[in-house]
Amino acid sequence: MIHQLKELIASKSNTLGALALKAVLWCASQPYAAGVWLRNAAFDRQLKKSTHVGVPIISVGNLTAGGTGKTPMVAHLAHWFRAKNRRVAILSRGYGAGVDGRNDEAKELEHGLPDVPHLQSPDRIAMARIAIDELDMEVLLLDDGFQHRRIARSLEIVLLDAREPFGFGYLLPRGLLREPIRSLKRADIVVATRADQVDAKQLASIRSRVQRYAPKVAWLEAAHVAKGLRNAEGMTQEIDWLKDRKVLAACGIGSPDAFFQTLQSLGANVVNKIVFPDHHDYQAGDIREIAVAAEAIDCDAIICTGKDLAKIDVSMIERFPIYSLDIEMEILFGKEILEDHLKEIVRQIPRDSA
């Protein structure tokens, strides 16, 4: 739905039908805007209180709907704390969880972070208590936490996709903003992700607008870097294997265009693309659709994302191998700023808990 909505609101069509539909979407956004304003005002004016759970919490969130790179950023932070021998857990809402209680993000993170607990529930305060009291965690990462103000945090990180950072300037559903741009004043760090996919002038413009609303916020730039290919059995291929290969790209994520662009930048010959809704729960019919499309182009492989492979969970579809393109977050600008903040988090951990 986000992908379809993005196509509609990004359209510059001035036909009567397009303008009428955008007007309807703007009207629909007004009750949402009122709800967001009331909720934020309640927390800003202390009518609602954020709960302190007793350990440092780092929130990783975004301003817009769709994929900005929260999962790679959470993984980056978790690896950093594990490298410092600190006990870290991830808390998330668990949107789109399957019958086993885990969603695609949890399954993807488990692959690269087998020693990092991932607790999923809409009640993240309760999950924080479990992480602290039962698992003896020292620091918690709040995935998709910017709008979850019930739990107090030590560090607020907000990600903006540099290709469309401000959700076309409107709140949902007229645009992709989950809350107004001025909400960035709550952030400690703003990260422009996919910064390598835009030019320096665009980045400077984004930074200027961010600092207009949040003059004290720290500014970082990051890229999604492809690290390799992996199948459901854990077998890997070097990223160079993709060059000139004829592939079918299939995904159910918030930002499919970025995935396709990455594949093409790696030299893959993306002959066909299949887009499913974000957090899609793959069924037998979906697998048949992928198989038919792969057969039609006689591709060398099917390529998906880590989140998709976590749900598809097979190494072959018919006679075609299927791999996930594994992505890591690389900080291009401001790495020292981020590490200074993380070191301060470590200093907040009681010495006797190490």
Domains of the chain: 57-224+330-353 (3.40.50.300), 225-327 (3.40.50)
How many angstroms separate the CA atoms of 91 and 285, rounded? 32
pTM, full prediction? 0.91
Note the pLDDT of residue 110. 81
How many other C-beta atoms lie within 10 A of the C-beta of residue 15? 9
CB 278 within 8 A of CB 266: no
Please give the backbone phi and psi of residue 15, each rounded to the nearest 5 degrees, phi first: -65, 155
Which structure tokens are listed for 101?
């209680």
Note the pLDDT of residue 101. 56
| Rounded CA Rg of the chain | 21
Average confidence score pLDDT of the chain: 92
pLDDT-wise least confident of 5-19, 75-89, 256-270, 284-298: 5-19
Note the pLDDT of residue 255. 84
Looking at per-residue pLDDT, the higher value among 268 and 66 belongs to 268
* Residue 172 in this model has a pLDDT that exceeds 90: yes
pLDDT in tens, 10-25: 777 778 888 888 899 9
Note the pLDDT of residue 181. 97
User: Tell me, what amino acid is at 176?
Assistant: L
Which structure tokens are listed for 204?
């400077």
Q: Which one, of 169, 325, 308, 349, lies nearest residue 247 by Cα?
A: 325
CB 259 within 8 A of CB 325: yes
User: Tell me, what amino acid is at 336?
Assistant: E
CB 131 within 8 A of CB 117: yes
Confidence of residue 191 (pLDDT cuts 50, 70, 90): very high
pLDDT-wise least confident of 238-247, 301-310, 344-353: 344-353
Note the pLDDT of residue 9. 79
Render the burial of 165-176: b for 16+ CB within 10 Å, e for the rest: bbbeebbbbbbb
Note the pLDDT of residue 19. 85
Label residue 68 left, alpha or beta by phi (over 0 means left) and psi (-120 to 50 means alpha): alpha
pLDDT in tens, 285-342: 999 999 999 999 999 999 999 999 999 999 999 999 999 999 999 999 999 999 999 9
